[in-house]
A and B are shown apart, each in its own frame.
Chain A
């Protein structure tokens, strides 16, 4: 990865040629995913956690459950907050500082996927009506940027949530008290994000960091286990034809069930 953020032309050409030939630089076909490994319960101080390796990409997610104030328009519902940290040790291109548009986009796309898939029944996460509710914090930490951060983060987020034990709070005399009890966080769906990238005339899944550097544009679909689309995000400065969008969606649907199998299979 270039330290100066410049993509050498010969690298761009090599990637384009590889994509045209159907055999990518790392030997994969356009529709092949890299190896995925998922580990849950890796952090003791978090109520839920997961560590995902997707090729060279390494993401860690911690779930913290707290108590706080609800949003004004939904006073009896729990709150979900997703945050992503592109920490500088993950890539020479990440600088320390407050979240930039890339990490904000990633957090929001993962958040939309969880929300639209209705992973949680927020009405069951209230405590004091109009006063206090459960807060679910999903903190996405990128440890190594090897490309396709959104998909890896979404896998880590849902894997961590599926293994989250919530502390049980009770209301006693109008006060919130934490009990010794814990119960599993109820997770109703398993949404999965699949990013499709366009390079020349080729559409490919699971881009490496190099492929992302030279891509024309990127389209991410978040899909639940029933094949419903829960979120869509197009990012990047070139356009897509409607045929390309259809083709990308087909590809994403195929891959979503593959990834879903990996998440539910590793329990």
Chain B
């Protein structure tokens, strides 16, 4: 029974992380008594489990996720929404308006192609297609602001321990920021400068999420950016 690396070592797919019995966590797989990494990232050994905190991955939808997406198609009784998953998500009419489907509903009047929504993933169908709902507080059509993209695996770092990182950005920039678990961030500020600072800061977190001492560097960075704008 042995760990072949140390926690926070960089591993690539195919690296043998553990030989023997252990629980397999994210981005690992078991084969013939050995645990291998399946994605590039930092290995974590802890609590009887081995996992890899991935540095690169697309968005893997989980029920309960809040996501930001664009309507890309309208079919009978349903909108298809691009949430950067491997397939488009489905938003069925009953999950968009609090009433059952009626044939005289004009779907583009409710949501048209090109419009953006904040939604919750409420189910994954048998083919793993994400099923969305926009019924609920803080969900629905986006009227203001714009979105940027970061790698989904960096979201926890953007949020920070108990929301500390994102709260700091909100306070320092005065922008409204909504974080979609799918890596889409909705930003809305009163002034262009504020929005520009938020975009730069989030970009830096995206690039450096895997490093240590990030919180301090971000605080310094925000200070420098604000000075530039004054």
Contacts and interface: CB of A to CB of B under 8 A. Distances in A.
Q: Do A and B bind each other?
A: yes
B88 A4 contact: yes
Given A2-B82, A4-B82, A21-B192, A10 B147 contact: yes
B72 interface: yes
B196 A27 contact: yes
Given A2-B70, A14-B146, A27-B196, A7 B114 contact: yes
Interface of A: 2-4, 6-14, 18, 21, 23, 27
Contacts of A23: 192
B97 interface: no
Interface string B177-212: 000000000000000100010000000000000000
Given A2-B70, A10-B147, 12 more contacts: A2-B82, A6-B70, A6-B71, A6-B82, A6-B113, A8-B116, A9-B114, A9-B115, A10-B142, A11-B146, A13-B146, A18-B192
A21 B115 CA distance: 23
A154 B116 CA distance: 37
Grouping DSSP codes into helix (H, G, I), strand (E, B) and loop, the B interface class, with mixed when no group exceeds half, is mixed
Nearest to B113: A6
Nearest to A21: B192
A11 B82 CA distance: 15
A10 B146 contact: yes
A45 to B, nearest CB: 33
A236 B126 CA distance: 43
Contacts of A6: 70-72, 82, 113-114
Contacts of B116: 8-10
Interface string B136-161: 00000010111100000000000000
A3 B87 CA distance: 11
Nearest to A23: B192
19 contacts: A2-B70, A2-B72, A4-B73, A4-B88, A6-B70, A6-B71, A6-B72, A6-B82, A6-B113, A6-B114, A8-B115, A10-B116, A10-B142, A10-B144, A10-B145, A10-B146, A14-B146, A18-B192, A23-B192
A11 B142 CA distance: 11
B198 to A, nearest CB: 13
Nearest to A8: B70
Interface string B71-92: 1110000000010100010000
A126 B82 CA distance: 56
Interface in B89-104: none
A27 B200 CA distance: 11
A3 B86 CA distance: 11
Among A8, A12, A18, A21, which residue has the most Cβ atoms of chain B within 10 A?
A8
Closest 6 CB pairs of A and B: A14-B146, A4-B72, A8-B70, A9-B114, A6-B72, A10-B116
Nearest to A5: B72
A29 to B, nearest CB: 14
A12 B112 CA distance: 14
Contacts of A4: 70, 72-73, 82, 88
B180 to A, nearest CB: 13
Contacts of B196: 27
Contacts of B72: 2, 4, 6
